[in-house]
Amino acid sequence: MNTCFATSWATCAQRHSYTLVLVLAGLGGACTGNIADPIPAPGAVDQNDTSGASLGGTGSGCREGVVVPGPSPVRRLTIHEYNNTVRDLLGDATSPANAFPEEERGLGFTNNANAQSTSGLLIEAYEASAADLATAATSSLSKLMSCDPVAQGDACVRSFLTSFGLKAYRRPLETDEVDRLFSFYSTNQQAYDTPTAVRMTVQAVLESPYFMYRVETSGSGDVSQLSGYEIASRLSYLLWSSMPDATLFDAAASGKLQTAPGIAEQARRMFADPRASRAIETLFSEWLGTDGKTQKDQALFPKFTPAIQGLLRQESTLFVDDLVFHGGGLQALLLGGYTFLNKPLASFYGVAGPMGDAFEKVALGPGKRAGVLTQAGLLATYAKVNQTSPVARGHFVRDSLLCDPPPPPPPNIPALPPPDPSLTTRERLAQHRSNAACAGCHTLMDPIGFGFEHFDAEGLWRDQEAGKAIDATGEIVKTSDANGTFDGALELAGRLSKSAQVEGCAVKQAFRFAYGRGESDVDRCTLERLGSAFAKSGGDFAALIIELTQTDAFLYRSNEVSK
């Protein structure tokens, strides 16, 4: 076996086998070179070169050139990705996947490959969607096809299958694939007519695993490099939640996606494109739960209508878009002194603001609100129907921002005292800390959640509860570097903003979204690389997203034994 421990995967591949770029720790051998060196085409590689030098090393424990991509499970298009893909492929903006059963989530994300299950219901929905899309797309053949299949016959159809197939399968079709599709077309053309046969062929393509799944089959061996087209799809679904565009296909075809810098260049181009907000919004809303919904007691909170909930979601989306695409990063996420409001939302918050339905960037006054943690949408989501929930809010911070989910509640929970309107929420939760059986876990959550007590169950500011002044003091315990006391949400957010644990957690969440799976021990070096780039950038999400395209997990894939 050809082993290689390169300081760059590109050079390593250059000097060694294209298909065995790979490389597992401890096998010996090394390569050195410039990371920008291109990987040669397979034929140009010296298959017999098994030379190697001594191991590289950075002192971090993550050896240069040791490629460990971690698992690469096949990923099916999510509802969001399917809708975007058919919009980009066919110009169909009907969002047909909204009729699919909603995805089972893993680690909070809808794109977790391990949580993707198949059911009869789903397959029937795929079929119905493909039929509708194909019918709509073939209602005007001249729009879909650049030639006339009736007048120009088989040559036209073959050329259509080649160009449409490339876009739909996100790679060039093999000759026998074109033949097979053409034969399917021909049979149906003879049985019915040309438009029917085109429609049936388009529908078959849309029901194919090559369309529904992001299929990666390049290479062999334990670890392999991806083809340019496979990289193109990884880029487009990471950055746009959709298929590659023409530029990206061209980059794949011309070999520009065979080097890490070439990939980074495309990633930067794509990040600057408005389509990047599709992915960013999904990452943040599923990470933070701002896509959640909640019910409130309408007698207590008549202002909290479904319409307001929709606007609150928009507020968080616009805020995140701004700090990701216009700078601000993690610091702004936690401490940004601005938000986005329109007239109905300003009125909900009870502040002066824009006079129309359009959202505008608004500076927040000092002392009460800053950052996403103080946005009412998030605060209301992590609250009960009729009262706040320091437990749920503390659990959210612990789970989503510190990546340290507390254990679930035990069985046989001792009786809680009946709700007493003369007590504050904080007072009623006192038993969580006085009872040793509860305290073990609740000290991880409640004292963090108390920091939000100035915000009621719908996320609006309050100075009193049950006739008593709000006490929003709290404490973070059992973290690597965020421990300490605070008074109120802004001091809490301030502590979190200085924490490397929070920074590392943001990296993990981005990893989960980008690679469609949970991290594990084998991903340590990928996480280290991402973490160091994110830290160096001062918590800039743009830097993190680009770096996500430079890791082993992105540039390579693991093959399972069965190949």
Partner 1 sequence: MKSLRLSRRALLRGAGGISLALPALDAMRPARAAGSTAPKRLVVFYTPNGTNADVLAGNAADFWPAQVGASFTLGKEVAPLEPLRKQLLVVSGVDGVSTQADDSYMNPDPTVVNHGDLHSIGMSQMLTGVSYLFDAKTGLIPGALPGGYAGGISVDQYVAKKVGAATRFPSLEFGVMNTTDHGVLPFSRMISAGPNQPIPAEQDPAAMFKRIFGNGTPAAATSIDHALVQRASILDFVQGDFARLEPRLGVSDRQKLDAHLSQVRELETRLQKPVVGPTASCDTSHGLASAGDPLDVVNFPATGKNHMDLLVLALKCDVTRVASLQWSWARSNIVHAWAGASQGHHDMSHFGSTPQLTAVNNWYAQQLAYLGQALLATPDVDGKSVLDNTVIYWASEVGWAYTHSFKNLRAFLLGSCGGALKTGVHLDVGGVPHQGLLVTLLKAMGLTDNQFGNPKYGTGPLPGVLA
Contact of 14 with 39, CB cutoff 8 Å: yes
The residue range among 259-267, 288-296, 484-492, 533-541 that interacts with partner 1, by the rule CB under 8 A, is 288-296
**Length reported for the chain:** 563
Binding residue (CB under 8 A) for partner 1 from 94, 162, 294, 537 = 294
To partner 1, the closest distance from the beta carbon of 529 in angstroms equals 19
To partner 1, the closest distance from the beta carbon of 130 in angstroms equals 8
CB atoms within 10 A of CB 74: 14
Q: Which of residues 297-316 bind partner 1 (CB under 8 A)?
A: 297-299, 306
Q: Which of residues 382-441 bind partner 1 (CB under 8 A)?
A: 384-386, 399, 405-413, 415-416, 418-419
Q: State the Cα–Cα distance between residues 378 and 537, nearest whole angstrom.
A: 27
Nearest to 269 by CA among 247, 243, 237: 247
Residue 103 or 465: which CB sits closer to partner 1?
103
**Contact call for residue 563 and partner 1 (CB under 8 A):** yes
To partner 1, the closest distance from the beta carbon of 69 in angstroms equals 13
Q: Which of residues 116-175 bind partner 1 (CB under 8 A)?
A: 116-124, 127, 131
Nearest to 324 by CA among 55, 510, 505: 510
Contact of 515 with 481, CB cutoff 8 Å: no
To partner 1, the closest distance from the beta carbon of 73 in angstroms equals 7
C-alpha angle 112-214-120 in degrees, rounded to nearest 5: 70
To partner 1, the closest distance from the beta carbon of 533 in angstroms equals 22
Nearest to 258 by CA among 233, 236, 239, 232: 232
Binding residue (CB under 8 A) for partner 1 from 30, 62, 90, 107 = 107
As given in the structure block, the two tokens for residue 352 are: 């002066």
Nearest to 308 by CA among 279, 366, 348, 363: 348
Kindly report the backbone phi and psi dihedral angles of residue 271, in degrees, each rounded to the nearest multiple of 5, phi listed first: -65, -30
Which string of b and e fits 19-56 if b means at least 16 CB within 10 Å?
A: bbbbbeeeeebbbbeeeebebbeeeebeeeeeebeebb
Binding residue (CB under 8 A) for partner 1 from 27, 35, 55, 74 = 74
Convert 248-264 into a string of H (helix), E (strand) and C (coil): HHHHHHCCHHHCHHHHH
As given in the structure block, the two tokens for residue 454 are: 């100035």
Q: Which of residues 327-386 bind partner 1 (CB under 8 A)?
A: 381, 384-386
Binding residue (CB under 8 A) for partner 1 from 166, 213, 255, 428 = 213
To partner 1, the closest distance from the beta carbon of 64 in angstroms equals 25
The residue range among 86-94, 340-348, 519-527, 530-538 that interacts with partner 1, by the rule CB under 8 A, is 519-527
The residue range among 224-232, 328-336, 453-461, 517-525 that interacts with partner 1, by the rule CB under 8 A, is 517-525
Q: Which of residues 177-206 bind partner 1 (CB under 8 A)?
A: 180, 184, 187-188, 191-192, 196, 200, 203-204
**Contact call for residue 480 and partner 1 (CB under 8 A):** no
Helix (H, G, I), strand (E, B) or coil at 59: coil
As given in the structure block, the two tokens for residue 96 are: 């047909």
To partner 1, the closest distance from the beta carbon of 225 in angstroms equals 16
Binding residue (CB under 8 A) for partner 1 from 114, 140, 254, 480 = 114
To partner 1, the closest distance from the beta carbon of 428 in angstroms equals 11
